[in-house]
Amino acid sequence: MKIIILVRILWTAGAQKIAIKEAKELTAMGYDVQLVFLRSTESRKNLQSELDSVNYKIFAGKTYVPRGIYSAITGIFAPDRKGEGTVDYDLIKKFAGSIKKAQCDYLICHDPWAGVAGLRLKKRYGIPYSVYYHEKIGNGYGIPVLGYLAERTERNVLENADRVLGVTDKVATSVGKKFNVNCIADLPGMDRTNFLSFEQKENIILASAVWGPTRKPEAYLDIIALLPDFKLYFVGRWLDSNELEKFKHLIDSRKLTERVILKDSMAESDLSELYAKAKFSLRFGTNEWGVGTSTIESISHLTPVIVSSLGISDLINAYGGGFVLDTLDPNKVAELIEKSNNKASYDKLQAELIKITSLYTWRKHSELLVKNSSEEQGDDCN
């Protein structure tokens, strides 16, 4: 069976990393897989080592720049997505128009706007498609006319999809409730990768995300200030370069330059080593129901996590392997790290993470992703 995995933008973020893992696992399962990104950004280079072993292409080429009209429309809905984060409706239509029936038996769309291509291909050729949600559904777009059109389009995409999935139970519930569709939770895989024991770890605290004001990066400085024996690695792409410069100045003013290592661009292979070396991983967000990709990466490297009530927090509450806080309290975070910074406590946390990695694998994730389509194709993967 020929599968196309469609992602709108190739940049350093969770959806892209999940799609790459899916492409690798589905290929290993015997499917003919192509991973397609409609366009890319400069940060694609950080994922190149992962992409080298995947059959992928950038549909619009590496130099494509989003059209102004679509950037402006995107900015109306989400000001921080204007520019690089544009929803390229023109590319979605062109991609759908470029695919012939013989090229695809099943299309996996990583968000409902990629799903517009799936809807077009299903109407033209009857090709089944799924839509995978990475974050919760809001109450509404709240924008006259355009908001109504966007919501109607999203509803049409979901009602015609053969499968709708969410990255966590919370995300799946929000989608199902909003659009009255059956949305299934399909957590990403957390297969164990390179990991180190407590004795081998370094006194490193890792915070990795796509950074913006809502994620309160300044609070992480309060945490490291309370832990003089640790260094904080602050990793990830910033939505606003001005915010990054302000944060650099804040680090300097608090005299934390020697203990806060700022990495706004980091190759995936180097980041993987950092996840393994770190003793703890922090991930806090406001009103977020997705997994927080750094949490998935941390679990895979058996690095205990301290998180807010993200979508993944239910897993930590159920199995352990870290701590869930209702609010980002620097004193509480520092206290938890100090109490867990010994072999007995740390070994227990790593044992709990091993349990999670045995239950949530990329094979399990991928099997659920293609379950219905495999049945329709007579379970013929070739």
Distance CA 109, CA 184 (A): 15
Give yes or no: residues 228 and 306 share one domain: yes
**pLDDT-based confidence at residue 74 (cuts at 50, 70, 90):** confident
Question: Looking at the structure, do residues 355 and 368 belong to the same domain, yes or no?
Answer: no
- What lies within 8 Å, CB to CB, of 285 at 6+ separation is 209, 214, 215, 292, 308, 310
In terms of domains, do 151 and 216 share one?
Answer: no
Q: Identify how many contiguous H helices and E strands the chain contains and give both numbers.
A: 15, 13
Alpha-carbon distance 31 to 310, whole Å? Answer: 33
**Average model confidence (pLDDT) across the chain:** 91
pLDDT at residue 128, as a whole number: 97
**What's the confidence (pLDDT) of residue 225?**
96
Same-domain check for residues 24 and 71: yes
At which residue do the structure tokens 């309370």 appear? 226
Q: Is a pLDDT exceeding 80 seen at residue 377?
A: no
Same domain assignment for residues 347 and 367: no
DSSP letter assigned to residue 238: B
Distance, in Å, from the CA atom of 156 to the CA atom of 150, rounded to the nearest integer, reads: 10
Q: Give the domain extent around 255.
A: 204-359
Is residue 220 located within the same domain as residue 279?
yes
Query: How many domains in the chain?
Result: 2
Are 355 and 367 in a shared domain? no
User: CB atoms < 10 A from the CB of 354, how many?
Assistant: 16
What is the percent of the chain where pLDDT is above 70?
A: 96
The string of pLDDT tens digits covering residues 118-155 is 999 999 999 999 999 998 876 667 788 888 898 999 99
- Identify whether the C-beta of residue 318 lies closer than 8 Å to the C-beta of residue 311: no
Q: Check whether residue 344 and residue 242 sit in a common domain.
A: yes
Taking only the tens place, the pLDDT of each residue in 235-294 is 988 888 889 999 999 999 999 999 999 998 788 889 999 999 999 999 987 767 788 889
Q: In what order do the strands lie in the sheet with 106-109?
A: 56-58, 32-40, 2-10, 106-109, 129-133, 163-166, 183-185
